[in-house]
Amino acid sequence: MSKYITTPIYYVNGEAHIGHAYTTFIADTIARYEKLKGHDTYFLTGTDEHGEKIEESAKKSGKSIQEFTDEMSATFKNLWDEFEIAYDKFIKTTDENHKIGVQKAFKVMYAKGDIYKGFYEGNYCISCETFFPETQLTDGEFCPDCGRTTNIVKEESYFFKLSKYEDRLLKHYEDNPDFILPRSRGNEVINFVKGGLRDLSVTRTSFSWGVKMPKSFNDDKHVMYVWLDALLNYITALGYGKDDALMNYWPASTQFVGKDILRFHAIYWPAFLMSLDLPLPKHIGAHGWWTRDGEKMSKSKGNVVSPKEVADAYGVENLRYFMLREVPFGQDGDFSQRAFIDRINSELSNDLGNLLNRIIGMSGKYSDFEINSVDVEKYHTKELNDMNEILDNLDALMENLQTHRYLEELWKLFSIGNKAIEEHAPWVKIKEDKKDEALATVALVANILAKASVMLSPVMPKTTNIIADALNFSIDNTSYKELVVDKKLLKLFNIKKVPPLFPRVEEPLMEEAPKAMPDDNPNDEMKEELAAKKEKKEEDNLIEIGQFFETSLKVGVVVEAEEVPKSKKLLKLQVDLGENSNRQVVAGIKEFYSAESLIGTQVCVVANLKPAKLMGMMSEGMLLAAKDEDGLCLIRPEKPKKVGTPIG
Ligand code: MSP
């Protein structure tokens, strides 16, 4: 079976950020997973180098456009190489073969009667390279996607008959409910199509940095619309329009995109493919957006997370693990060093790293590093059954792109291992002269580590190779089949010592406020406009007094307080608000207050918040606090007040 996995191709007018890294990590993980399963897999990534926006950025750089795009494209390629992304091809849309393929597709669509010439007049956003109907503009003027000013553009244009494909598209979504993953994202696309599709302008005359029209059209003033050009990369990379050399990989199995470009991939792209009489991709996997510490990342705020900086500080494999574990595929995710460090310390270092160390330590002590699985089945049937059940469930999760659930399940294997050690206490068995039992437990856990490493390898390829090396086997399709599919055990081997794989991280390793990255949009006019919009938004943010009183604030007293185990941040408090029972409040203040110091003190509580779960514990309120660069302090009444006194 062949598999074809793609990432979007990245615009070359800015540097790679964490959002690009996420798409690339997840696509790389799925491609590695398919290869592990023995599928003939092709993985494509690359850069999107045409269009007005890039032409403008190149002009500002003072370089020739091609020189500029080559340099910027190389920054992406070099980064992916440094991160050991296992792509099979890195495509550039300025590649000659790509241009030939785009021209060929244009001719095929035209011959089919799907392309005609006309005039376009509309509100155009240069930054998004998109026309928007007036009804979609913000305040009748601004781009609904990026907020920049749109311009009225009237130009001669070739159009693609998108409207012709409305019914076929709707039928395809209906017949293939997993075409868009997660399914929940499908509705927005379906509703958009149901709202009616207008034909799509697919050429431009207002700039020249694009794929030229096929010679036979004799119409040099047009260049191809960048989205037509860009989407076609997925087939030109396989030789479409040239030699079709790799077209056996088409249709793609999963094409990864961010939610902002889902519409292009779930509407335009399938319509283009229908016009070309090519099959549609099996899945379009749309992921959410990453924020930083809860805030949208933007170059002007200077809070864009640079994946290189994070990888240099924490290691690229830890970053891969964090990003894939942290968010359910399709939902937005937040990058914070705190959350990242918590996962490194508790999941990677404690659960996985310590288990490996314990096994190395015990086998060294009890059997001169020799692991023998001869008695594992005799003493550990239950653990083996539990482990096999987990292994059997993993595949469906990965196939559904549920990486967070996949890793969560995978981690249960380490719990089985840790629990087996606690319950069977090999050190006691040794003292009781039951060496075969002790060694069986050690061998069980070594096997758990081996199987888990195979399944973790698509996410953390280098780290798992080190573990496999310590356990004296290699991770590949053969070991996948033997250890995971056929549930065999590694029989007899010598284990090797390895240095700790996941040193604990005590403090954030990067500055919290990173220096601003170079702005890709240094146009002063636009900056002023954004500042004006911000001001307007702040004005719009004023609230009526009634809105303020919708929040119920009350004085309370802390009656109990304790630390939340495994959390650096959280304290669990019981707060008396003068109600029938105390409220449980889980607050992120452990770094600033000890539990004991809070007992008996007064606090101000937001009392009508919907309860929320933090680290599995219900929190039924929020404490008022102020935080600046010197730290955090609780807001308390100046003089003691009765519990339950309203604040207003
Ligand atoms: N060039 C187009 C894609 C053409 S594909 C035929 C493009 N490029 S992009 O560089 O702007 O974005 C590439 C990908 O990065 C998109 O999938 C986009 O969703 C993703 N992200 C951009 N910012 C992001 C976050 N903050 N978080 C997660 N992903 C985000 O669009």
Rounded distance from Cα 56 to ligand 1 centre (Å):
19
Task: Indicate the top mutation candidate among 5, 10, 69, 335 to test ligand 1's pocket, ranked by most ligand atoms within 8 A of CB.
Answer: 10
Average pLDDT of the chain to the nearest whole number:
92
Rounded distance from Cα 20 to ligand 1 centre (Å):
6
Rounded distance from Cα 604 to ligand 1 centre (Å):
42
pLDDT > 90: percent of the chain? 79
Rounded distance from Cα 23 to ligand 1 centre (Å):
8
CA distance 282 to 4: 10
The confidence score (pLDDT) of residue 531 equals: 52
Cα angle for residues 235, 237, 239 (degrees, 5° grid): 80
- Minimal-distance CA residue to ligand 1 atom 17: 258
- Minimal-distance CA residue to ligand 1 atom 29: 19
Rounded distance from Cα 418 to ligand 1 centre (Å):
41
CA distance 603 to 623: 7
pLDDT bin (cut points 50, 70, 90) of residue 629 is confident
The atom of ligand 1 lying closest to the CA of 290 is 27
Nearest to 459 by CA among 520, 370, 398: 398
Task: Indicate the top mutation candidate among 5, 11, 326 to test ligand 1's pocket, ranked by most ligand atoms within 8 A of CB.
Answer: 11
Please count the residues of the chain.
648
- Minimal-distance CA residue to ligand 1 atom 30: 19
pLDDT bin (cut points 50, 70, 90) of residue 543 is low
The atom of ligand 1 lying closest to the CA of 230 is 6
Nearest to 130 by CA among 210, 266, 227, 63: 227
Alpha-carbon distances of 85 from 310, 429, 606, rounded to whole Å? 16, 46, 46
User: pLDDT of 471-489, one tens digit each?
Assistant: 999 999 999 999 999 999 9
Three-state secondary structure of 526-564:
HHHHHHHHHHHHHHHCCCCHHHHHCCCEEEEEEEEEEEC
Rounded distance from Cα 144 to ligand 1 centre (Å):
16
Rounded distance from Cα 289 to ligand 1 centre (Å):
9
Range in 10-19, 67-76, 230-239, 619-628 with the lowest mean pLDDT: 619-628
Amino acid identity for residue 250 in this structure: W
- Minimal-distance CA residue to ligand 1 atom 23: 19
Both tokens of 96, joined, read 């000659």
- Minimal-distance CA residue to ligand 1 atom 6: 231
The arithmetic mean of pLDDT across residues 22-47, rounded, is 98
Both tokens of 83, joined, read 């991160």
Task: Indicate the top mutation candidate among 24, 76, 229, 257 to test ligand 1's pocket, ranked by most ligand atoms within 8 A of CB.
Answer: 257
pLDDT bin (cut points 50, 70, 90) of residue 526 is very low
Nearest to 272 by CA among 104, 123, 133, 53: 104
The confidence score (pLDDT) of residue 221 equals: 95
Task: Indicate the top mutation candidate among 17, 225, 261, 517 to test ligand 1's pocket, ranked by most ligand atoms within 8 A of CB.
Answer: 261
Cα angle for residues 76, 82, 83 (degrees, 5° grid): 90
User: pLDDT of 354-369, one tens digit each?
Assistant: 999 999 999 999 999 9
Task: Indicate the top mutation candidate among 20, 75, 226 to test ligand 1's pocket, ranked by most ligand atoms within 8 A of CB.
Answer: 20
**Buried residues in 428-458 as b, exposed as e (16+ CB within 10 A):** ebbeeeeeebbbbbbbbbbbbbbbbbbbbbb
CA distance 420 to 423: 5
CB-defined site of ligand 1, < 6 Å: 8-11, 19-20, 22-23, 48, 230-231, 257-258, 260-261, 289-290, 297
Range in 19-33, 247-261, 534-548 with the lowest mean pLDDT: 534-548
Q: For 147-152, which contacts have Cβ atoms below 8 Å and span 24 or more sequence positions? A: 147/530, 147/533, 148/526, 148/529, 148/530, 149/526, 149/529, 150/123, 150/124, 150/125, 151/123, 151/124, 151/126, 152/121, 152/122, 152/123, 152/124
The verdict on pTM exceeding 0.85 is no
Flag whether pLDDT at 528 surpasses 70: no
